[in-house]
Amino acid sequence: MNRILLVTGGSRGIGAACCRQAAAAGWDVAVNYARDAAAADAVAADVRALGRRAITVQADVADEAQVLAMFARVDAELGPLAGLVNNAGVVDMPARVDEMSLARLKRMFDTNILGSVVCAREAVRRMSTRHRGRGGAIVNLSSAAARLGSPAQYVDYAASKGAIDTFTLGLAREVAAEGIRVNAVRPGIIDTGIHASGGQPERAKDLAPQVPMKRAGSADEVAAAVLWLLSDAASYTTGTVIDVTGGR
C-alpha cells in the first residue's frame, strides 16, 4: 500500500524536490501551494508520471480554516496521512529589527511558526496511536539561520526557525511513544526562488564563497535528507535536526 504524504509549499524549490523524490520512494503526494496553481499542477504531473497518486491543494498555512480544509481534502481524496513535510516558509527584505513593522513580524511568525505548528497538530490528530492512527513521520524545514541569527538580514526569519528547532524537539518527545517521529532539516544557502522573494535574487551565488564547500546547495540535496527522515531507514531517529549546509 502506498503511503500518503502532505508537503506544504510543494509547488517550488525544496518542497517540489521533496514531492518528486517522495513519489520515486513510493509515496502518494498532496502538493500544497499558496498562489501558483500552475507550478503545483506541474509537480503533481511529475508525481503521477512516477506512478503515484497526486492532488494539489491551495491553502495559506497561516490561515487555520484553510489548513483544516486542506487536511480534510487529503483525508477524502487520498486517505490516511502517514507523513507531513512542513516546508512552506517565507523570508522578507533585508532589514534591521529596529526597522521591522508589526505587519512584517506577524506574516513571518504566522507563516513560519504557526503554519508549521497547526499543520503538525492536524497531522498528529490523524497519525497518533493515541487518536487511533497508524503512526507516521513529520519533517520540519528549519534553517541554518536558526544558528546564525541573520543580523541585518532577517533576524525575524532566523528567530522563526529557532522556534521550529525547539518545536521539533518538544513535539518529538511528546509523541515518541505514539508511533510518530518528528525531525527537522536545517538547509544552508540553497539555490531556489526564495532569495528573489526577499529582494536578493543573486544571494545564493553571492554567498557561495562563504560556504566551506564554496557552493550553494540544491533543492534535491535538501530533499534527500527529508526523504531519509521520512523513511523507515530512520526508524530510531526522532527529535533531531540535520544540517544540510555544505559545512556552514
Residue 194: alpha-carbon gap to chain centroid: 13
Residue whose CB is less far from ligand NAP, 62 or 133? 62
87 is an interface residue for ligand NAP by CB under 6 A: yes
83 is an interface residue for ligand NAP by CB under 6 A: no
| Stretch of residues binding ligand NAP (CB under 6 A), selected from 19-27, 85-93, 147-155, 167-175 | 85-93
202 is an interface residue for ligand NAP by CB under 6 A: no
**Binding mask of the shown chain, residues 111 to 130, with x at each position contacting ligand NAP by CB under 6 A:** x-------------------
Site size toward ligand NAP, by CB under 6 A: 30
7 is an interface residue for ligand NAP by CB under 6 A: no
In whole angstroms, give the CA distance from residue 10 to residue 17.
Answer: 8
Could you say which of 3, 4, 9, 153 contacts ligand NAP (CB under 6 A)?
A: 9
Q: Does the active-site annotation cover 157?
A: yes
**Nine-digit cell string for 64:** 487555520
Taking CA atoms, 151 is separated from 98, 155, 162, 189, 243, in Å, by 12, 6, 14, 16, 20
**Nine-digit cell string for 59:** 491553502
Residue whose CB is less far from ligand NAP, 75 or 165? 165
Could you say which of 108, 172, 194, 225 contacts ligand NAP (CB under 6 A)?
A: 194
212 is an interface residue for ligand NAP by CB under 6 A: no
8 is an interface residue for ligand NAP by CB under 6 A: yes
| Stretch of residues binding ligand NAP (CB under 6 A), selected from 28-36, 146-154, 168-176, 233-241 | 28-36
Asked whether the beta carbons of 40 and 33 are under 8 A apart, the reply is: yes
| Stretch of residues binding ligand NAP (CB under 6 A), selected from 7-15, 19-27, 117-125, 127-135 | 7-15
Residue whose CB is less far from ligand NAP, 41 or 178? 41
Active site residues: 157
Q: Which parts of this chain interact with ligand NAP (CB under 6 A)?
A: 8-9, 11-15, 32-36, 39, 60-62, 87-90, 111, 141, 143, 187, 189-190, 192-194, 197
